[in-house]
Every structure is written in structure tokens, then in C-alpha cells.
Amino acid sequence: MKILIINPYGIGDVLFTTPVISNLRQAYPEATIAYLANGRTADFLKLNPDIAQVFIYERDAFVGHYHKYLELFHAINKEAFDLVFDFSLNSSFGFLSAACGIKKRVGLDYRNRGRFLTHRIPLRGFEGKHVIEYYLDLLRLIDVPVKTRAMTFIVPPQDAQWAQEWLVRKNIDLSKPMIAVIPGGGASWGKAARFKRWAVPKYAQLIDKIIENFDGAIILMGDPKEMELCRELSSLVHFPIHFAVGETSLMGLAALLKRCQGAIVNDGGPLHVAEAVGIKTISIFGPVDPFVYGPYPGDGHVVVQKDLPCQPCYRRFRMANCEHINCLGELSVEEVYRKVKSIL
């Protein structure tokens, strides 16, 4: 049995597929499992012991370069896969799988984009249950038993060692609790990521309040592209904090997170990395439904949201026309702080 998984999207969405992989491994212990993903997620997928090979697809790099599509086609075609799970919601990947002769093609059929699939479940949008449950439904569709729902993210020893050395270099007292703060996230939304991000001044007030009341260390983390946002936050905080923004790879970020007692994050990929490495989270949600896209399962995790009548306004992959973003704008520092106290 040779199985291909397709998901060209962000860190969180790819992590949501890892329970599918774990269940496939249990059902088919001798199977070869490969994954088609983008470059941002390829590194941690290559560390998954259940994945033998990763094909990289970068949409922007492929547009207008048809030889890249041909190279990808030939690379997949020669592997002679028996089964594909297509999480792309995109008919192009369904066509690719069919053209490569993969006989069993399983996926979600959104707006008839699953027309090349042989086994499909109609989808209007993710609502009413977590995305992971939608993905596990595809296993049930072909009679593969669901025995685990845990996400998988392996932190390699060299990155765990790097995190230890970073903490020592920063003179952080390792006997005291460490809290990660990640004020960015939501990169897969592009310019619309602002709809997912709680205001920087409020993050700064929250950090001040935590340091005033708890004896611990705050580690500010984020992607290098979020450097300006994080520097602004750092300038507004009245106490010393530890700045790790731009100093970590994705693996390094995961390794540092694993050393923390908890993480305060927006809705986005870093939330799900923190979950997957096993630490507590306080996640701040605005337009997106945390029941569908939030921590899963919810044990050890706290979601903070305003619960306005218009929430969630992101439904069926569409964002409502909203300029006020009151769901995040009206969320007070005190409301978030009360949730933070529950894990400290």
C-alpha cells in the first residue's frame, strides 16, 4: 500500500491532518505514506516518523512555470500510489491524482471541486464540528478505524538543545515559569491577518500585568516577518522581557514553546504548534469559530472571545464585510488576564 496525502496550506491546517496519518499507520503498518505540502510545513512533516517522502508545492513558484508542474507530475506518477487523501478542496489536485493513475481518491467535495475524487463527502464549509473531525470522517468513509485524535509534531534533539542553550544564554531562571507570547500569527490570511490579531497595546498591558503579579519570564516569539509588530510591542512593555522573534526556525519555535508553561497566542498556526508539543494555551479568537478551528481536544486549553451576536463572522471560507472588528476591539485586557491566571 502506497498512500499520498495532499495539503498545500498553512501550518495549522497541515497539523490537523496528522491524526489521519497516525490512524492510517495503525491500519496499514507496512504502508508507505508520502505528503504533498508547501515549503513552510515541509520541515516538520519530514520529521514525522510515519511519513517517508515529502513533495513540495509552492503555488507562487509554480505559476507560469509549467515545467515545474510536469516535474511534480512525473515525481508522483513514478511512485504508483494506491490511495490519496486530498485535503486541498481544489479540483486541480484531484485531476493530478487521477492523471497519475491513483485509483482510490478520497476527499471533501466543496462546490463540485471534488469531481475527480472516487470517494467524497459534500462540504459547504467547516462548521458545527472541528476541522479534525471532518478530516477523520474521510477515514470512516473508507472503513479505516479512528483510534487516535492527537496531532503530531516532533521536536528534534538538536532543536531541543538549541532551546536549552538559548535559555541559558538569556540568563533565564529555569526554575521559574516561562510564558510564551506570540502577538502575530494568521499568516495564511495574508493582509487580512489583522482580523485575527488582538491589538499590540493590549498585549503590552497584559504582559505588564502578568509580570507585576507573577514571578516568571515572558518570552516574545514570532516569525521574522512580524519583527516590526513585535518590536512595537516590546517598546510598550514597562518590564524586561526576552525577545526571540526572528531567532528561531519553526523547529526552534516549537522547542522553545515546549519549555514553556503556557502560551498566549492569537488564532493561527503557532497556537496549534503549542498544542501539538503539549503545553497549555490561552488563545484569542475574533471572527473565527474556535469550536471549529480552535484547540483540539480542548483539555488544558483556554479560549478567550467576546461572544458578540455577530460571531463568528468567518463562515464557509468567507469573511463578512466587517471594518469595526469589535470582537477583538472590545476584548479587554482584564478579560484575557483572568484566563491567563487559570494556567499560572
Alpha-carbon distance of 11 to 277, in angstroms, equals 14
Q: What is the DSSP letter of 189?
A: G
pLDDT of amino acid 120: 97
pLDDT digits (tens, 9 = 90+) for 158-199: 999 999 999 999 999 999 899 999 999 888 888 888 889 999
Alpha-carbon distance of 275 to 294, in angstroms, equals 10
Alpha-carbon distance of 134 to 129, in angstroms, equals 7
Would you list the DSSP string of 299-312? TTEEEE----TT--
Q: What is the mean pLDDT of the chain?
A: 94
pLDDT of amino acid 111: 95
**Are the C-beta atoms of 263 and 279 separated by less than 8 Å?**
yes
pLDDT band at 324 (very low <50, low <70, confident <90, very high): confident
- For the chain, give the percent of residues with pLDDT over 90: 83
Q: At what angle do helices 250-258 and 269-276 cross, to 10 degrees?
A: 50
Residue ranges of domains in the chain: 2-141, 157-341
pLDDT digits (tens, 9 = 90+) for 210-262: 999 998 899 999 999 999 999 999 999 999 999 999 999 999 999 999 999 99
Residue 325, pLDDT > 80, answer no
pLDDT of amino acid 192: 83
Grid cell 476591539 is found at 329
CATH topology agreement for domains 2-141 and 157-341: yes
| Residue 123: C-alpha distances to residues 87, 110, 116, 166 (Å) | 12, 5, 15, 45
pLDDT digits (tens, 9 = 90+) for 12-68: 999 999 999 999 999 999 999 999 999 999 999 999 999 999 999 998 888 777 889
pLDDT digits (tens, 9 = 90+) for 54-99: 999 998 888 777 889 999 999 999 999 999 999 999 999 999 999 9
pLDDT digits (tens, 9 = 90+) for 262-317: 999 999 999 999 999 999 999 999 999 999 999 998 888 999 999 888 889 888 88
CATH ID of 157-341, from 3.40.640.10, 3.20.20.210, 3.40.50.2000, 3.30.420.40: 3.40.50.2000
What residues have CB less than 8 Å from 293, skipping those under 6 apart?
Answer: 12, 126, 130, 131, 267
Residue 141, pLDDT > 90, answer yes
Cell of 206: 497584559
Architecture of domain 2-141: 3-Layer(aba) Sandwich (3.40)
Q: At what angle do helices 39-46 and 250-258 cross, to 10 degrees?
A: 60
Alpha-carbon distance of 110 to 121, in angstroms, equals 9
Q: What is the dihedral of CA 33, 34, 38, 40, to 10 degrees?
A: 60
pLDDT of amino acid 9: 94
pLDDT of amino acid 92: 94
pLDDT digits (tens, 9 = 90+) for 145-154: 999 999 999 9
pLDDT of amino acid 61: 80
pLDDT of amino acid 310: 85
**Are the C-beta atoms of 83 and 104 separated by less than 8 Å?**
yes
pLDDT of amino acid 117: 98
End-to-end CA distance of the chain: 47
User: Considering Cα of 142, then 147, then 148, then 154, what sign does the dihedral take?
Assistant: negative
**Are the C-beta atoms of 107 and 94 separated by less than 8 Å?**
yes
Half-sphere exposure of 15 (CA within 13 A, CB side): 26
∠ CA 19-5-103 to the nearest 5 degrees? 125
Count Cβ neighbours within 10 Å for each residue of 263-275 and write b for 16 or more, e otherwise: bbbbbbbbbbbbb
